[in-house]
Each structure stands twice: as C-alpha cells, then as structure tokens.
Structure 1
C-alpha cells in the first residue's frame, strides 16, 4: 500500500509538548503476517519488539515509555508490551531530546497575521526538528515563544543558510501556502559570497539533475533530465565575489551544489568548498560549530501572490552577510 501524502495524513493523536511534536513510526508493510504469532524468527511479534529492534540503543527507554502508557497508536490508544506488530501500523511517542549546542543567534519575526508567521532565520539554526537538531530549531523556538502549537513550516531553509522563512499559523491554510512553494510560484532571491570567481561568464542559468540520498550529507549532480534550475548573476563591487541567485526549483543544497559546479563554492561551506572550514564541520556532516564562520548564503527575499487575498506579498531579510 502506498504511503499517504503528508497533507492527507491524520493529525497526530498526541499534542505538541513544549514546542515539540510527537515522533511517528510506521511499521513497514513488508512485515510478515506470521510475525503476529512469532513464527518468523527475523520479524518481531509485537510493536514493542519492532521498536526495540529498530532502535536498539533506546531499548530501555522504549520499554519505560510503553510501561508508562506514553506510546500510542494512531487512535491515541496506549501500546502495551503485548500489542501485535501489525503491518502498516502507526505509533506515536515523544522522543527524549538530544543534548544540543545552543545556537547563540536570535530569531527575528518579520511578519505575523492570522495565517502566516514570517521570520528572519539566523545561520546554524535548523528550520524544523530532524536528526540531532530538535529544540535548537526555528519551529520549536517559535512554538515556545508564541504559544502557537499548530505552527508549521511552509518550506525549509538549510540549517547553515540564513534568511526569510515562512510558517503557517492556521492549519487550514497550510496546504495552500505549501503548494505555492511546491509549484515554484514563489520568487526567491538569495545573496552569496563565493571563495573563487566562476569558471564561466555571468549572468547565466544553471540546469542539472541533483540527487540527495537519504543518510548521505552531500548532494551531487548526475546525468539525466534536469530537476534543478538556478539563475546566477555577479554583483559588482566589494573585495569578494558576490552573487545574486534566484533558484526556480528547491532541491536540497541546490544553490551550494550549482555554485560549486562552476568553480565558485560559497565561502565557509563545509560540504562543497575546497575543504572543510576549520571548526564548522567535517565533510561527513559531523557537527563542530564555529559560529564565527557562517556559510555566506542568505535568503534575501521571498515574493508571491497570496492565495487568499490575491495581494502581492514580499518579505525581506534584514540580515547582512559578513563578507558582502
């Protein structure tokens, strides 16, 4: 059975708690029906067994949460130690937040109304919880500071990228704004400072196929039908190579990959530069923050036609790149 699109999934049975939503785990349909009587040696018979096998390092905490009734199914009913492992079942619980290094930069609100909350995100702050970054994210910070538990991102920015980021306040309006970004109906302008001049004449439009594999930190270009398009122009003046960039698509790390592909990697880029910037992280993505050397990439502005009012809306970052 195919997975339902996010917009069609039911609301989680657990509420947002201290700014953090519950984690969702789905039992794959590849789990054999034989697992329900334990006859398949390689397949857990219970939900508890499945969770323990999937997250062995957290086996003790999983058992504690199940015993306390803190792990529930899609209807909000508590999972017990004997709940059968049913293919396709959804399980919800609150993760224990990892220990995170605080990001010492403020998140500034640019605009707020009944449907939207637009912020100026600093470098190093993730857009939303993922992997090692849970509480040190724009979404959790904003939920805590505003008290809006239903707040959700309309799009994302890379953790190392600063600038304009849009959230929806009203769950009923979420889909309309997310579809603007998905359809490429939002005009996005970025500024970047590069560590070398480009290898070709500008302005130009870069088109290629970019792939980002799950679990691999670097995205890469590969032969095939282009799925990423970026317009690039050089901004004159200053002591550094300054670029104005307008991506027509939104592939992961698109701007960073495209600028590196023309010999002009973004300054202090730990993944696509000539080498890891000291202290900012290794090329495998391990986190070693040096907050004094932020990636020189800024989402300067966003512009779109509001799907509810028909008005043209434009939001502009008040931040400045150090090397601009």
Structure 2
C-alpha cells in the first residue's frame, strides 16, 4: 500500500515538522516505536508530547499515547529541546527577494537544527522572522564561522542556486586572523594547493596527505596586526570540508580561536563565547541563474581579533 503524500504542516516557533516513516515491526504502541527509534528524547517526553497533540499521523490527526502502532504510514513531530544552549548574538537579513535570502550568521550559531541546537539556529531564527516555511540553506558555514549565508525562498528555484555551488561558479572571499612569521613560510600572495582527507581517528579533523590536490585557496595578507599576527584574505577555489582551517594550519598559521586545528579540543558543556574562531565569510558573488544579472553581497560583520572581543556588526551595503 502506497503511503499518502507528505503533509504541508505549519511552522511551530520557526521549526518545520519532521516526518518519520513507520516500517513493519514489533511495536505494540506508537509510543514504543518513538521511544526506541528516537531514544534521546525519552519515553516520558514522547508521552507528554503526544498528550499535548504534538505528534500527528499522516492525516494530520493527533496521535494519543495509547495509540496502537501501524506500519506503512508517517508520523509528524516538531523538534524541541528542553535545555538548549542560548547563542547570545544577533543574526541579520541583508537581502530578501522572491527567490533568495542572504543573511549574516554570527559566530557559534549553527545554520540548521542538529544535535543540541534547534531554536538556536540561523534557519529557525529566519523562519521565525519571515514566516517562510520553505526557507532552505543553499550552502553551509561551520557553526564557528561567521558571515554570509544564502537561503532559497522557493523549492522550485532552489536547485538553480545550489547548482552554482556544485559547479564552482560562485566567488567566495573570506577573512581570517592568524599568526604572522616574518622569516618563516611562503611568500604572499600565493595559491596554496593540497590534498585533504578525513583523519582516520579524529573524524572532526581533515589532514594533508600526498597525492593530487583537491583543495586550492588563494591567500593574501591584508594587514599586519602587531608583531606576530596578521589579517589574511582567503579565496577558496574548491569546497573541501574545513579547507581554509586545515590549510592555514598546514602553513603554520592556524586561525585564532580554532578548537579543531592544530589540536582537536574536547567539546565543552559551556561554550566560551569570548574566543570565537577568527574566520569570516566576507563576500560572495555570482551570476544569478534566473535573471542572468551579476550579484555580489558583502557581510556587515568585521573581525576584531580574539584579544579585542567578538566580531561587531557594522553597516556594509550590498554592492
């Protein structure tokens, strides 16, 4: 028997409904299935959600805590965390039209819900602010990185924008603050090419290995910051995971505030907001796939350096 089409359910506090398929199985109750399939929520929490009408069947009807389990259907629920860390920095919409939203993501804020973060994500904040349920990221930034992030407004034009990134037709410019060594290392500006692969043990890290380069970045020095620090401009020509962080570390210039390179530090229960990663997605440019017109966006954020506090939002017009 074919499952009914997915429901188009409204946002709740900016969070879209998650759909969960029900396979054949041994569960007597829907509650048994949810508690086993998604155990991090907890059986008691699932029972409370169901009692409040926060779990729906594929007809949009609330599922009671004592409802029998039935396979070949979908269940719907809205993710919510009781003890979600608060990210005390503001996101900002820089541009919005019928197809594209461009926003500034502050440091420490994830782009999409994952793990410990649901409400405290850029996507949820933007959905709350705009009411656009179909809003979806076109690309991603690491949680620790600040700056420009693009979102699709309509599903029908989403792939056209995502294709720009897949086919490397987007010009991206980053800034970073990192060590400066007067007489050590390469001369700048330079094009740095290397081969990056996931570390076999520390899966969070990428490592440099022999072989044909798969990561290329153009690096220049924008200004010296005292004796032993500098502000760098990074223009990635490829999009490998952690490319900028791993390559700057390999050059002996790990980006300030990096908790992954050169040493992977343990995850802390309490985030130290005073030491952000000094990496900023500063500019992004491309030819619009719908209008054929050139587009360029510039962040409103500036790196101030880990010893001077957090990145500050200042006015920077779209160009």
Flag whether TM exceeds 0.5 (same fold): yes
Which residue number corresponds to residue 6 of structure 1?
Answer: none
1:168 & 1:317 partners in 2: Cα distance? 18
CA contact (8 A) 1:209 1:225 kept: no
Alignment coverage as a number of residue pairs: 294
Matched residue, 1:15:
10
Match of 1:109 in 2: 93
Cα deviation for residue 135 of structure 1 reads 0.9
Q: Deviations over 1:249-299 (max 9, x none)?
A: 333322112211222110011121457xxxxxxx23334322222110000
SS of structure 2 residue aligned to 1:21: coil
Q: Which residue of 2 aligns with 1:278?
A: none
User: Residue in 2 aligned with 1:228?
Assistant: 215
Q: Once the two structures are superposed, what CA deviation does each residue of 1:32-71 show, in whole Å capped at 9, x if it has no partner? A: xxx64x4xxxxx5665433322333411222343455533
- CA distance in 2: counterparts of 1:21 and 1:72, whole angstroms: 13
Q: Which moved more, 1:218-227 or 1:11-20?
A: 218-227
Task: Decide which structure has greater strand share.
Answer: 2
User: Could you say if the C-alpha distance between residues 250 and 85 of structure 1 is closer, same or farther in structure 2, counting changes exceeding 3 Å?
Assistant: farther
Supply the distance in 2 between the matched residues of 1:241 and 1:306 (Cα, whole angstroms): 34
* 8 A contact 2:174–2:234 mirrored in 1: yes
CA distance in 1, matches of 2:267, 2:95: 33
Partners of 2:205 and 2:290 in 1: CA distance: 37
Q: Secondary structure at the match of 1:56?
A: coil
How far did residue 312 of structure 1 move? Answer: 0.5
User: Conserved in 1, the CA contact under 8 Å of 2:193 and 2:214?
Assistant: no
- In 2, the alpha carbon distance for the partners of 1:212 and 1:66 equals 42
Counterparts of 1:114-263 in structure 2, within 5 Å, are 114-195=98-179, 197=181, 199-202=185-188, 203-211=190-198, 216-221=203-208, 226-239=213-226, 240-263=229-252
What TM-score do you get using the length of structure 2 for normalisation? Answer: 0.79
Matched, 1:306 2:295: no
TM-score between the two structures when normalised by the length of structure 1 = 0.78
Of 17-26 and 292-301, more deviation after overlay is shown by 17-26
The DSSP-based 3-state class of the residue aligned with 1:118 is: strand
